[in-house]
Amino acid sequence: MAFNNANPNTKNLFTKFSKGFETIKQNGEYIRILETYWGKNNIQKEVLPKDMAQYGTDKVNLELFSQYAREPWGRIK
C-alpha cells in the first residue's frame, strides 16, 4: 500500500489501514482472501507478512493452484 505524504490525511489513512490490516490478519480473513487466489493451504510463505509465515508453505503446489476454474483476474470461482 502506498500513501501520498503530500496529503494531509495520510497519517490518519495509514493508521486506519494498519488497524484494519491487523484485524483481518488476526481474525483469519486475510488468509481466506489469499486462499481465494492460491488455493486452500497453498499460500507461499514469501507472500505473507513475516508474522504470518507459519500459515504459508515452502513450495506452492502448482497442481492444486492450476486445478481451479478462475475469474479473469485470477480469483478462484
Is the pLDDT confidence value at 7 over 90? yes
The answer to whether residue 36 sits within a structural domain is yes
Query: Quick count: other Cβ atoms within 10 Å of Cβ 43?
Result: 21
The set of residues, in sequence order, having a beta carbon less than 8 Å from that of 34 and lying 6+ positions away, is 43, 47, 48
How many domains is the chain partitioned into structurally? 1
The answer to whether residue 27 sits within a structural domain is yes
Residues 70-77: what's their mean pLDDT?
Answer: 91
**Long-range pairs of 20-24 with CB within 8 A, sequence gap ≥ 24:** none
User: Which structural domain range is residue 23 located in?
Assistant: 10-66
The set of residues, in sequence order, having a beta carbon less than 8 Å from that of 29 and lying 6+ positions away, is 23
What does the pLDDT read at residue 58? 96
The answer to whether residue 77 sits within a structural domain is no
The answer to whether residue 1 sits within a structural domain is no
Residues 1-6: what's their mean pLDDT?
Answer: 90
The answer to whether residue 71 sits within a structural domain is no
The answer to whether residue 22 sits within a structural domain is yes
